Amino acid sequence: MDQRGGLAETIRATDVPLVVEAYNRTVALAPQRPLAGLDFLVPSHDGRGAAATSTSEKVMAKALYNRSEPLIIGEERAAPPDYEVPLRARRSDTGVGEIDLLGVGVESARPWVVELKLHPTQILR
């Protein structure tokens, strides 16, 4: 079976009303920062300051934010306008964290959400 045939079958078998219902439930439960008077981008982010450990995703996000050239994501070049973008609207929004790095395609203006993961034995230099 070729991949297109498999995809077509998967699309035909998709329960669209169920997907729409799940999406609407997710939207209803998601934190609403703007309704709480909170911005997503943090004006005080300047790429400085130390994180708890030198091997954290936070340090990597700041380092990538501070680069003088865009990130290469696939075939796209993306400039990061912010790092550690908060998603919570309230402290009680448990399980909701931050976007490690937000990028915008230089040519396409396409948004990129970057989740950084470091190998446990990797050391940043």
pLDDT in tens, 70-111: 988 888 899 888 888 888 877 777 777 888 888 899 999 988
The answer on pLDDT for 3 being more than 80 is: no
pLDDT at 47: 62
Cβ-contact 45, 64 below 8 angstroms: no
66 confidence band (pLDDT: 50, 70, 90) = confident
Return the structure tokens found at 91: 């402290």
What pLDDT does residue 1 have?
A: 42
The pTM for the full model equals 0.54
- pLDDT at position 122, please? 57
Contact 42/33 with Cβ under 8 angstroms? no
pLDDT tens for each residue of 35-65: 777 666 666 666 666 555 555 888 888 888 8
88-119: b or e for each residue (b if 16 or more CB lie within 10 Å)? bbeeebeeeebbbbbbbeeeeeeebebeeeee
Q: What is the mean pLDDT of residues 14-26?
A: 85
Domain spans of the chain?
1-30, 34-125
The average confidence (pLDDT) of the chain is 77
Burial class (CB in 10 A: 0-12, 13-18, 19+), 46: exposed
Question: In the chain, which ranges are E strands?
Answer: 71-73, 76-86, 98-105, 111-114
26 pLDDT more than 80: no
- What is the spatial distance between Cα 89 and Cα 21, in angstroms, rounded to a whole number? 23
